[in-house]
Chains A and B, each alone.
Chain A
Amino acid sequence: MAESQTNIQQDSTVDNLIKDLFRTVRLNKGFNIWMGFLSVSLVICLYAYYIQLRDGLGVAGIRDYVSWGIYISNFVFFVATSLVGMLVSGVVGLSGQKWVTPLTRIAEIIAVAFAAVAGLVIVSDMGRPERLVNVFIHGRVQSPILWDVTVVTTYFLISLLLLYITLIPDLAYGKDHLEGRPKLLQKLYDILSLGWKGRKAEVKILKKSTIVMLILIIPVALSIHTVTSWLFAVTLRPGWDSSIFGPYFVSGAFVSGLSCLVIAMYFFRKNYKLEDYITDFHFDKVAKLLVLVSLVYLYFNLNEFLVPGYKMKKFDAVHLRELLAGEHALLFWSVQGLGLIIPIILLLIKPFRKPLPMLIIGIFVLAGSWLKRYIIVVPVQEHPFLPIQHEPSNFMVYSPTLIEILISIAPIIMVLMIISVLAKLFPIIPVWETVVHKGLIKDETEIENNNHI
């Protein structure tokens, strides 16, 4: 290749930096064992799904009254977590926060993985998965499910496209820094990089496209979770029949997404030796962001429970008593306490904003986020308007079966696989953007803009 054509200054610092960041793009034994383990687990879980297909959805604990169980909680959780891509790259990125650069790709990969798998999760909850095509043939525009299918698919595609666009310059770098990697991978890099040379015109197009995508992803991401919340809010059931479900879910999504990001940051930093790029400073920043979104979420929680709790309308009262002081009280208060209130308090204290404490807090918040979805989905259905009578006892209360749990673990494994593979195939820290932000190469478009001024 004619390197003289590139605008990239190939001095030693830049070269070392690129080399350092491409370090992680290499298949090794650890990765193979990890993927092998995931694959075996996935096969076991898929066998559970095979049993469900063979015998019917009844192998799960869901029945006529609680007919949405952990599959749907899982779905809501997946959609929620995928919102982190939009939060980090879109909202924080667009607001000109340069510190977020090394985290954007992790966030985007999380978004792609969770959005892709969310679609599969919903299929596992269908009685007739082979009729999925009916949604496209006979789709009713009045049904929130159609909106959900539309926006989740769209969000997945946009996230994938955004991930790809920001990868293009890195892929071009990769061509020169992947000696000894499989030829297939090099070929993949070659094709996907579109022959990127970093010319002024290219950079300009890329920047414009990225901004367009970042702007587009914000309303789409907001709508995926708003629409997901409407799956509940459009019903008449006390506990779901709420007008704040949209923002309530979206703010909750930021909490679960950021906690997932924290965990991913910790693992990538540790395993890929990225301490130079993902620093304590980044953890501190993310912690503060997490506190902010958690406070917003707490605020919505207050609205969601205090307002109906004040009035105690007939059916609301039954639901709230069960949740706040009845059968689900322990779970409810654990989730609110350990998954939201205590993390907020701890993260306000500086020593807890270090990587390891944040990992632990992140795990608690993420687990709390999952359980919160369970609390939103399941207890409401145990108290319909009319009494549940003349039914077998397993119709009255819901308890997930082993098969159901295995089927619910499958998507989590898939997410881990997707994240692992993407993080292996491509540099996990955006190389080009890091180079530009460190001022190692001149951003000529900026100079040009300045000249215009």
Chain B
Amino acid sequence: MQLNRILIASITLLIISTSSLFSQTTSVPSEAKNKTAPFLFTPETIKTGEQIFNANCKSCHGDPGKANYAKLNPIPKDPASPEYQKNSDGEMFYILSNGRGLMPNFVNTLNEAQRWQVISYIRSFNKSYKQPPIKSTGEVVKTETAKMILAFDKSEKKVFATITDSVAGLRKPLPDITIKLFVKRTFGSLLVAEASTGKEGIAYFNTPADIPGDSLGFLSLIAKTQGNSKELISTLNEKLGVVTKPKNLLDQRAWWNVNKMAPVWLIISYLFGVVGIGITVVYILLQLRKIKKINDSAT
């Protein structure tokens, strides 16, 4: 019986997923499913969550419970629906972070706290919801005293990060911490390398050599650890990029360029034509004056 039910359910699920080509294209890992919010949901978190929701989610999902979602194909789910509320907090967090199907990810646009605030807002539509107890796991760096230093090793020609924590006045290396290395770009940070700290608390990065830097080849690097409450950030400016000499588009003579930068032959031909006609007309006018002169002198 039980097996049959599961079978039917999964077949139904499969049909739904293939027909809408949308729903379950990503399955949530069980580890993520059990994740819980790092704080208690309060009217404040709900209020902030509402603002974030309206700014980022409403354009597709509409107002929860009002079914005024955008008429897209497939239809965006109503977060207030019982069907959606069946998800665990961890599942919601995962979907919100990584996106699902056509829903974009928000890992870069909302920080973890903001994502949890959105979930607290969504949960406020579920009267029967009870927030599970907060588990104190999942944080990479737990203490406030931890520090990360990003530096360049000239002999190894590698960027490295050192993470230490001060314990009783001594700095103790923190191993096994994953660090992401980004390069600063105009509209965001470009992920270039990822590494974990070793026993000495040092992580070496293999940075690609073909990243365009500034006119001297400098790159602005940012290293970040992942975590809920404590995110370590360290920056470094180093000559690791390709020297970029931007070309000025407007340097070339072209049809589309400004008057001054017109093709030389064109300017010459135009002036030649205009001046040529001008001279001829002036010549004719002089001839006419000659006729007048002949007659004026005769009378």
Contacts and interface: CB of A to CB of B under 8 A. Distances in A.
A219 to B, nearest CB: 9
A199 interface: yes
Interface residues of A, number: 30
A140 B258 contact: yes
Interface string A197-213: 10101100110110011
Contacts of A194: 288, 291-292, 295
Interface string B254-281: 0111110011001100100110010011
B287 A195 contact: no
Most chain A beta carbons < 10 A, residue from B259, B284, B295, B299: B284
B298 A197 contact: yes
A205 B291 CA distance: 7
B266 A141 contact: yes
Interface string A130-145: 0000000011111000
Nearest to B263: A142
Contacts of B168: none
A195 B280 CA distance: 23
A147 B274 CA distance: 10
B71 to A, nearest CB: 15
Contacts of B292: 194-195
Given A141-B270, A142-B262, A154-B277, A212 B284 contact: yes
Interface string B231-262: 00000000000000000000000011111001
Interface residues of B, number: 27
B269 to A, nearest CB: 9
Contacts of B263: 142
Contacts of A216: 277, 280
A196 interface: yes
Interface in A158-183: 158, 161, 165, 168
B295 A196 contact: yes
A78 to B, nearest CB: 21
A7 interface: no
A209 B298 contact: no
Interface of B is mostly: helix
B158 interface: no
Contact of B284 (A196, A197, A209): A209
Nearest to A213: B284
B278 to A, nearest CB: 9
Nearest to A164: B288
Nearest to A155: B277
Contacts of A141: 259, 262, 266-267, 270
B286 to A, nearest CB: 10
A309 to B, nearest CB: 30
A367 to B, nearest CB: 34
Contact of A202 (B266, B267, B291): B291
A147 B270 contact: yes
Contacts of A142: 255-257, 259, 262-263, 266
Interface string B90-129: 0000000000000000000000000000000000000000
A191 to B, nearest CB: 10
A196 to B, nearest CB: 7
A303 interface: no
B294 A199 contact: yes
Interface string A116-142: 000000000000000000000011111
A202 B294 contact: yes
A372 to B, nearest CB: 29
Contacts of A209: 284, 287-288
B172 interface: no
Contacts of B298: 5, 195, 197, 199
A13 interface: no
Interface in A207-256: 208-209, 212-213, 216, 220, 223
A9 interface: no
Interface centre among A141, A150, A196 (most CB of B within 10 A): A141
A325 interface: no
B284 A165 contact: yes
A157 interface: yes
B259 A139 contact: yes
Nearest to A162: B284
Contacts of A205: 287, 290-291
B264 to A, nearest CB: 11
B296 interface: yes
B283 interface: yes
Interface of A: 5, 138-142, 147, 150, 154, 157-158, 161, 165, 168, 194-197, 199, 201-202, 205-206, 208-209, 212-213, 216, 220, 223
Given A165-B284, A195-B292, 4 more contacts: A140-B262, A147-B270, A158-B281, A201-B294
24 contacts: A139-B259, A141-B262, A141-B267, A142-B256, A150-B270, A158-B277, A165-B284, A168-B291, A194-B288, A194-B291, A194-B292, A195-B291, A195-B298, A195-B299, A196-B295, A199-B298, A205-B287, A205-B290, A206-B287, A208-B287, A209-B287, A212-B283, A213-B284, A220-B277
Top 10 closest pairs, chain A to chain B, by CB: A195-B295, A194-B292, A209-B287, A142-B255, A141-B262, A140-B259, A142-B262, A194-B291, A202-B291, A141-B270
